[in-house]
């Protein structure tokens, strides 16, 4: 191995260990890796920074604002409220009515707000029906994940891969313009992912996943072993209500104890207990260091919800009452219309006849030569309309971004570039292909390669984060396709599905952490229920991608 390969390998090992041990937030860990690659000359200044101006990363940021506008409309709550049984409910009948609509919504809406909105609603509904909430909350998270697999905007993972494809296609075009050889993406005419590029495989995965969640997962899910009932009515002062809040990435007290961080002074609420990994911490919890996996059980008055109910300092797991004024009737429906138009516009704009029409239009080429009707274009327009019509607070718009996710994505582009430039990606791809000697002469070999690529990506996802996993596996997918001289799209889509398949641990996906706090689940609950989901996605991805996508 050459020095660049060895150096990149060591940096990646450092990054993975730091992410697994949660030494810092993922964004800072990945930025540290970028700096280490930059100072060693593996990547230059432009390559280190290009992720911060990438269209895919900025699209993710815009969709956070669009999601906030739709969330405030209250339409989602109304839909699910009417779908839930009002009497004689069972776990199966409720799942039949509820999970499919959640999966559909998640195909076009950011997963995290969906779970934040629905988890308290499902928890309260289940208790009224005398059913255990723990039979529903993990399936709620999984339903949003498999829904997000079906479209470009269903999850940030797909948008990250889309952004990486756009950047790679741009780099290949620039190299070809300077006399370089034609790149693998140029050879197959790939510029990015269309809105429904993943739908052919994704919808089969979603249907199979829903069957498992509705009819079989209840046998693996625990009964409610712990809830906030243990501290629900202890010493509750008049005028106070009890809430559960999952600490967010922006919570300033992470890594500190409650003695070091005065929660009441900052938020005007008293901490009554801390839940971690499904258990109420015993003993002197005031001297235990807080992590982003902790759920705090707090007592607060009405002012707490008004001040912090829609913040990203923590996620509200058990909300009491309204904490923000709802949008008017016209604005509620206008928000949904804008979302639908954005999706339709981005879908139609990517069609080849529409692209050809724009290219042949003298008016467009003369006066609007840079016009491209893609997701970024329509997300920009939708965001601005929502801001100026006050569908979300334009004065506080920055708090709706998940900055750590955006920084993680931006840094991931530089790390992906380093893996390609150093030769690390080709080295690993060669070893993946070496798994079988018949790969070039038999279709059976491609299943082995897809399985290996899925397995590597999925391990990354379960141990670190979905976005970082997608960025790490993307150059491997391109390197494999180059080694084989095959169409890159099947391998890229394999990375998309594998990076989203964070079912077996609570740490791979934000939605899993939210339901863990809401349901008091233990780590082993995710392992028991999640492994069958991982197998379902793994088998269908590997078997169906060669059926739906040509390799040559």
Domains assigned to the chain: 228-318 (3.30.70.1450), 329-399 (no CATH)
pLDDT at 509 over 50: yes
309 pLDDT band, cuts 50/70/90, is low
pLDDT at 365 over 70: yes
Give burial (CB, 10 Å; 0-12/13-18/19+) of 268: middle
What mean pLDDT comes out for the span 365-390? Answer: 89
pLDDT at 323 over 60: no
225 pLDDT band, cuts 50/70/90, is low
Q: Mean pLDDT lowest for which of 90-94, 122-126, 134-138? A: 122-126
496 pLDDT band, cuts 50/70/90, is very high
322 pLDDT band, cuts 50/70/90, is very low
Distance of CA 146 to the CA centre of its chain: 11
pLDDT at 122 over 80: yes
pLDDT at 353 over 80: yes
Q: Mean pLDDT lowest for which of 238-242, 362-366, 466-470? A: 238-242
pLDDT at 418 over 70: yes
> What is the DSSP track for 320-375?
-S--SPPPPHHHHHHHHHHHHHHHHHHHHHTSHHHHHHHHH-HHHHHH-TT---SH
Share of the chain above pLDDT 90, in %: 29
Q: What is the pLDDT of residues 261-299, one digit of tens each?
A: 888 888 888 888 888 766 778 778 888 888 877 888 888
The residue that leads in pLDDT, 306 or 97, is 97
Average pLDDT value over all residues in the chain = 85
pLDDT for the residue 230: 52
Question: Are 161 and 474 in contact, with CB atoms under 8 Å apart?
Answer: yes
Q: What is the dihedral of CA 420, 425, 430, 435, to 10 degrees?
A: -150
Q: In what order do the strands lie in the sheet with 279-280?
A: 279-280, 270-276, 295-300, 241-247, 314-318
The residue that leads in pLDDT, 437 or 111, is 111
436 pLDDT band, cuts 50/70/90, is low
């Amino acid at each position: 191995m050459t020095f660049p390969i060895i150096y990149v390998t060591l940096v990646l090992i450092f990054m993975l260990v730091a992410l697994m041990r949660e030494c810092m937030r993922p964004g800072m860990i990945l930025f540290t890796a970028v700096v280490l690659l930059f100072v060693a000359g593996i990547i230059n200044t432009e390559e280190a920074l290009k992720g911060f101006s990438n269209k895919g990363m900025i699209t993710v940021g815009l969709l956070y604002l669009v999601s906030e506008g739709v969330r405030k409309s209250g339409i989602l709550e109304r839909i699910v409220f009417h779908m839930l049984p009002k009497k004689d409910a069972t776990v199966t009948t409720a799942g039949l009515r509820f999970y499919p609509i959640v999966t559909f919504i998640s195909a076009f809406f950011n997963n995290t707000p969906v779970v934040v909105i629905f988890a308290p609603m499902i928890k309260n509904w289940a208790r009224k029906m005398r059913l255990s909430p723990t039979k529903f909350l993990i399936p709620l998270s999984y339903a949003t994940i498999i829904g997000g697999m079906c479209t470009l905007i269903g999850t940030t993972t797909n948008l990250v891969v889309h952004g990486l494809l756009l950047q790679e296609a741009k780099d290949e075009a620039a190299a070809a313009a300077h006399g370089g050889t034609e790149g693998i993406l140029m050879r197959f005419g790939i510029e990015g992912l269309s809105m429904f590029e993943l739908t052919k495989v994704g919808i089969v995965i979603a249907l199979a996943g829903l069957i498992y969640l509705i009819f079989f997962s209840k046998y693996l899910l625990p009964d409610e072993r712990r809830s906030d009932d243990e501290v629900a009515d202890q010493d509750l002062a008049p005028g106070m209500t009890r809430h559960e809040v999952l600490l967010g990435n922006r919570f300033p007290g992470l890594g500190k104890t409650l003695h070091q961080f005065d929660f009441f002074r900052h938020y005007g609420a008293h901490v009554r207990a801390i839940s971690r990994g499904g258990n109420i911490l015993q003993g002197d919890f005031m001297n235990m260091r807080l992590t982003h996996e902790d759920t705090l059980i707090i007592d607060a008055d009405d002012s707490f919800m008004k001040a912090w109910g829609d913040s990203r300092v923590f996620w509200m797991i058990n909300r009491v009452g309204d904490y923000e004024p709802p949008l008017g009737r016209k604005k509620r429906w206008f928000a949904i219309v804008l979302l639908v138009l954005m999706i339709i516009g981005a879908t139609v704009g990517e069609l080849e006849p529409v692209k050809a029409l724009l290219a042949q239009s003298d008016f467009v080429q003369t006066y609007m030569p840079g016009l491209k009707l893609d997701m970024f274009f329509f997300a920009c327009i939708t965001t601005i309309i929502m801001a100026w019509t006050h569908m979300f607070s334009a004065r506080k718009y920055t708090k709706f971004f998940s900055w750590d996710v955006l920084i993680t994505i931006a840094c991931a582009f530089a790390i992906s570039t380093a893996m390609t430039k150093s030769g690390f990606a080709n080295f690993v791809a060669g070893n993946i292909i070496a798994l079988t000697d018949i790969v070039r002469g038999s279709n059976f070999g491609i299943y082995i390669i897809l399985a290996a690529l899925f397995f590597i990506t999925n391990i990354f996802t379960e141990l670190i984060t979905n976005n970082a996993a997608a960025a790490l596996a993307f150059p491997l997918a391109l390197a494999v396709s180059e080694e084989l001289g095959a169409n890159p799209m099947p391998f890229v889509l394999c990375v998309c599905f594998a990076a989203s398949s964070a079912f077996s641990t609570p740490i791979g996906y934000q939605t899993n952490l939210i339901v863990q706090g809401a349901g008091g689940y233990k780590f082993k609950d995710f392992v028991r229920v999640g492994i069958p989901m991982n197998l379902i996605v793994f088998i269908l991805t590997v078997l169906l991608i060669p059926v739906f996508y040509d390799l040559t």
